[in-house]
Amino acid sequence: MPVAAWTQLFGDHFESLQLDTTKWLTSLPWGRTNSPELQYYAPDAFDLSAYSINRVVADRSTEYAGYNYTSGALTTYSFFSMQYGYFEIRAKMPSGQGLWPAFWLLAANQSSIAEIDVFEILGQQPNTVYMTNHWRDQGGTHRSNQGIYVGPDFSQAYHKFAVDWQPSQIIWYIDDVERFRSSQGVPSEPLNLILNLAVGGAWPGNPDSSTVFPAYLDINYVSGSQQTGGTATPVPTSTPKPMAPPAAPSRLTAAAASRNQINLRWTDNSSNETDFHIERSPNGSSGWTQIATVGANVTTYNNSGLTCGTRYYYRVRAHRHSDNRYSNYSSVAGTKTQACSRRTSAVPFALTAAPASHAEIALSWTNHSNGETGFGIERSPAGADEWMVVATAEKNVTGYLDGQLICSSIYDYRVRTLSPAGEEEYSDTATAATLSCHGETHLYLPLVVMPGPSGQ
């Protein structure tokens, strides 16, 4: 079969941080509601912070009276319509009871019901695609012809959905493979493009307790092309080059908060992550398991339910949902939970260690003592239990910058109070790694020294 030339007349790869309002209206052609659906189509229900991704967001909301949900709809109504051609979208679906994403073509003349549904998917059946065209017969009765394709879970990865609309037939493609065709009721008038994520309604039913919000319809691109000669074999739209992975988090610290909890903190260096994945190990080198996921821009996590007097190691990496890419890991940080039984009145607590440069690690702790003469600071290669005194800090001092270390190396630290009565018990252990030997060479972490209890 000869391959025809195609001219793209409409396209959007969503490469800007702002929606192109010369192409899209942020509602349905007739307004922002569509009874009996439950959502209000809000003008700001779109997240374009990830390059070449338009995330349509459905969420619970009471911002608009009478509606418990907001979501997004886009249409080219009043901007663009086309009669016949090849229409394609690359997208990843949401999943969940009551969610209803769709890409459809609708008559520019609102008195007509001519419609081609490129895809409709019910969130509770994310592996099933409904492909339909609608028309009114000569007697005025609404007719439709529908194909159903059961494939993979379309919420787990991006897939392409397309129609080749010809004067005599419509052919549906999923990932470039024909899945249905119809020669009944083929429209012969210009149609607009519509993208939307509906919530509830007679067909999908309403969300229930299992439905997770916010829910996302992630769109990579949309295009509309027409044949300029010959017999058509659809030519898929090219996929944009992938983005670089998110930047790795840094300055991870771990501090024992109690006998059963360790608190983590890190620096977020990425501008386009979706979440952070937190992993834990018993020894800092093997046996890593993911223990939690926190959202974008979150830089803390409290790991509870731990065993007293036990050392744990942690690392964190950023993740981007749109293309499932991960950053490199942060440096490893570790500490022990507080001892199962201990005298705490004079023991330094909440010891943290953080990289300050390629050769320096900054320590800080909280002072509970009322009569110390100073603090003894000790260091060991991570996990080696080979402790040596590296410094003695004066009373009321609650921080120390340990220098002349080896780049890309992990160290354990502990501190204990010095008093006229002798040396007290050690603090919990804190672990940190110096910065990479191949990273930046001028990274500075300010050290804040806070006074101890008043009167000292």
Identify the burial level of 262 via C-beta atoms within 10 angstroms of its C-beta, where 0-12 means exposed, 13-18 middle and 19 or more buried: buried
Report yes or no: 77 and 108 within 8 Å, Cβ to Cβ: yes
> How far is residue 449 CA from its own chain's centroid?
37
Other residues' Cβ atoms within 10 Å of the Cβ of residue 127: 15
Cα–Cα distance, 395 to 367 (Å, whole number):
9
Pairing status of strand 39-41 against strand 69-71: parallel
Measured from the Cβ of residue 242, the count of other Cβ atoms closer than 10 Å reads: 10
Active-site residue flag, 189: no
Residue of 15, 37, 63, 115 with catalytic role: 115
Query: Among this protein's residues, is 115 annotated catalytic?
Result: yes
Instruction: Give the separation between CA 64 and CA 107, rounded to whole angstroms.
Output: 29
Residues 6+ apart with CB under 8 A from 41: 26, 27, 28, 32, 33, 34, 70, 71, 72, 73, 196
Q: How many CA atoms lie within 13 A of 251 on its CB side?
A: 15
The per-residue DSSP string of 285-315 comes to SS--EEEEEEETT--EEEE-SPPTT-EEEEE
C-beta of residue 73 within 8 angstroms of C-beta of residue 3: no
Contact status, residue 337 vs residue 312, Cβ threshold 8 Å: yes
Catalytic residue selected from 120, 273, 279, 372: 120
Contacts of 114 (CB under 8 A, 6+ apart): 106, 107, 134, 135, 187, 189, 191
Residue positions annotated with a catalytic role: 115, 120
